């Protein structure tokens, strides 16, 4: 029966989901891999700057949105979705320990949100600067 084919399809999808769920990492481990990526892009790369990260977070980058449009001026506070007005959980790890612990989720949301704000992908330098600053934000 076609029901059996669909059950197989559902199991295959569930399997793909489970196998794609990577192990949790710490934001520090994320920074290590972003640093390696930044060094590969630019051999002159030294370190990430929290100050540059804050400037990046608040800037509009030529468009009408900044990171703070949804995540608010204080990323330790809950935000508001600019279109749906739905609550967005705090972005700073000190206020929300789940942030920056799932590499796939980090990659997915940087891709989406960088396109929304900058209309391009973010560089490893930009991502690392931003995370460096977010790690200094206290609730």
Partner 1 sequence: MNRILVWDIPTRIFHWTLALSFSVAFLTAESERWRDIHVYGGYLALGMIGFRLLWGVIGSHHARFANFVRGPAAVIRYLRSLISDQPEHHVGHNPAGALAIVALLVLGLGTGISGWMILNEIGGDVFEELHEGLANTMLAVVIIHILGVIVSSRLHRENLVGAMITGYKNGHDDV
66 touching partner 1, by CB under 8 A? no
Burial of 78 (0-12, 13-18, 19+ CB in 10 A): middle
Beta bridge partners of 80: 87
DSSP H helix total and E strand total for the chain:
6, 2
d(CA 81, CA 29): 29
* DSSP 8-state secondary structure symbol assigned to residue 80: E
9 touching partner 1, by CB under 8 A? yes
Choose between 33 and 69: whose C-beta lies nearer to partner 1: 69
Letters for 76-105 (x = contact with partner 1 by CB under 8 A, - = none) are -----xxxx-x---------------x--x
Tokens of 111: 């891709």
Q: Name the one range near partner 1 by CB under 8 A: 26-34, 36-44, 107-115, 127-135.
A: 107-115
Tokens of 43: 């051999």
115 touching partner 1, by CB under 8 A? yes
Q: Which residues bind partner 1 (CB under 8 A)?
A: 1-2, 4-6, 9-10, 13-14, 16-17, 20-21, 70, 81-84, 86, 102, 105, 108, 112-113, 115-116
């Amino acid at each position: 029966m076609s029901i059996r084919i669909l059950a197989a399809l559902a199991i295959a999808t569930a399997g793909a989901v489970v196998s794609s769920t990577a192990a949790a990492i710490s934001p520090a481990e994320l920074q290590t891999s972003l640093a390696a990526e930044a060094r590969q892009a630019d051999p002159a790369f030294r370190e990430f700057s929290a100050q540059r990260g804050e400037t990046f977070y608040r800037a509009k980058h030529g468009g009408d949105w900044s990171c703070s449009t949804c995540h608010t001026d204080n990323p330790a506070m809950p935000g508001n979705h600019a279109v749906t007005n739905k609550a967005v959980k705090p972005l700073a790890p000190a206020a929300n320990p789940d942030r920056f612990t799932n590499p796939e989720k980090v990659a997915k949301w940087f891709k989406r949100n960088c396109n929304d704000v900058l209309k391009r992908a973010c560089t490893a330098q930009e991502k690392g600067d931003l995370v460096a600053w977010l790690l200094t934000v206290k609730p």
